[in-house]
């Protein structure tokens, strides 16, 4: 019977032990192309990454602490205001966006300011394809943008939410320009102070969809600069007819207290090479410079 040196035996045992240990390790995680990677752009603690612009105030002046974070919620409140005085307000995420889905949870929590316009009752929204806050003069009332409008009902009142309004912009439906400033969705009415979860899907200049509980309640196409409603703007920022393919998002305050609990973003731009480690099947705009 042939014998082996003791050192060879130890080496063989060590090799077997290492092989066994490696086989017991957790498998390396694999990219799931269909797994959506949502990003929380409100951190629940402060307004980092957000910029306030209130009409009749300079960019960044959060007059009377209108926007504040309490209990993990962005609150738009008027308890330190004596009068509203047309201080329409918006808070902007700092990055321009083009192809994405945006998820928001909102609710209305109080009464309309005594001197705010009646149409602002239980009225808020999120602006998309918006101009940058830095391009707005002090007295501009609304940003040039497209608004996904939030409306709350009271009692048995029928009041749709996730409508569309067009301050300084135009939109198209079925190939025709929409003449009305606001167009209603097909949503049901959400009364009281209940939380409502909504989504906006934006595909550059091609199309925009408003969704509630995964159901499309409104859809339109090819937004562009044009129309009225906006006042006090810099004329160089309103080249009528310019197609809107990207812009900023902004949460709105119009005189009724409103809260935002979740604000999450899903980019639809990324690596569309199927062999890449970070390929996602839901991307619609390729940027293969991001491929890994």
pLDDT tens across 148-184, in order? 999 999 888 899 999 999 999 999 999 999 999 999 9
pLDDT at 8 over 50: no
The pTM score is: 0.87
The pLDDT of residue 259 is 98
3-state secondary structure of 87: coil
Q: For residues 289 and 137, what is the distance between their CA atoms, to the nearest angstrom?
A: 37
Predicted confidence band of residue 29 (pLDDT cuts 50, 70, 90): low
From residue 225, how far is each of 131, 132, 188, 202 by CA, in Å? 10, 14, 30, 16
The pLDDT of residue 281 is 96
Q: For residues 160 and 162, what is the distance between their CA atoms, to the nearest angstrom?
A: 7
Q: Where are the domains of the chain?
A: 39-270
Span of 24-38, 162-176, 198-212, 219-233 with lowest mean pLDDT: 24-38
Sequence-separated contacts (24+) of 238-243 with Cβ below 8 Å:
238/144, 238/168, 243/205
The pLDDT of residue 200 is 98
pLDDT at 262 over 60: yes
**Alpha carbon 135 to its chain's center:** 20
The pLDDT of residue 31 is 83
| Stretch 254-261: mean pLDDT | 97
3-state secondary structure of 11: helix
- One DSSP character per residue, 170-194 reads EEEETTEE--SSEE--S--B-BTT-
Q: How many CA atoms lie within 13 A of 238 on its CB side?
A: 21
pLDDT at 26 over 50: no
Q: Which fold has domain 39-270?
A: Jelly Rolls (2.60.120)
**Alpha carbon 44 to its chain's center:** 15
pLDDT tens across 83-135, in order? 999 999 999 999 999 999 999 999 999 999 999 999 999 999 999 999 999 99
CB atoms within 10 A of CB 247: 23
Listing from the earlier edge strand, what are the strands of the sheet with 89-93? Answer: 50-54, 89-93, 248-253, 123-130, 146-151, 163-165, 182-183
pLDDT tens across 213-236, in order? 999 999 999 999 999 999 999 999
Q: What is the mean pLDDT of the chain?
A: 92
| Stretch 33-46: mean pLDDT | 96
């Amino acid at each position: 019977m042939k014998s082996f040196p003791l050192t060879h035996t130890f080496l063989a045992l060590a090799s077997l032990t290492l092989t066994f240990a490696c086989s017991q390790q957790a498998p390396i995680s694999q990219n799931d192309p269909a797994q959506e990677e949502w990003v929380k752009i409100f951190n629940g603690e402060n307004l980092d990454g957000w910029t306030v612009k209130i009409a009749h105030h300079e960019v960044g002046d959060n007059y009377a602490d209108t926007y504040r974070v309490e209990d993990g919620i962005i609150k738009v409140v008027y308890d330190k205001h004596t009068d509203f005085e047309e201080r329409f307000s918006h808070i902007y995420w700092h990055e321009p966006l083009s192809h994405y889905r945006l998820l928001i949870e909102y609710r209305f929590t109080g009464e309309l300011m005594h001197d705010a316009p009646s149409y602002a009752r239980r009225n808020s929204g999120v602006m998309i394809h918006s101009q940058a806050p830095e391009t707005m003069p002090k007295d501009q009332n609304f940003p040039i943008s497209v608004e996904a409008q939030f409306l709350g009902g009271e009692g048995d009142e029928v009041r749709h939410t996730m409508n569309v309004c067009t301050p300084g912009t135009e939109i198209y439906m079925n190939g025709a320009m929409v003449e009305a400033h606001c167009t209603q969705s097909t949503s049901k009415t959400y009364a009281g102070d209940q939380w409502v979860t909504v989504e906006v899907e934006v595909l550059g200049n091609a199309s925009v969809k408003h969704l509630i509980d995964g159901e499309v309640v409104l859809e339109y196409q090819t937004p562009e600069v044009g129309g009225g409603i906006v006042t006090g703007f810099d004329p160089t920022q309103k080249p009528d007819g310019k197609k809107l393919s990207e812009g900023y998002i902004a949460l709105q305050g119009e005189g009724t207290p409103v809260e935002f609990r979740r604000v999450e973003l899903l980019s639809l731009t990324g690596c569309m090479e199927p062999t890449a480690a970070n390929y996602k099947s839901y991307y619609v705009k390729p940027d293969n410079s991001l491929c890994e």
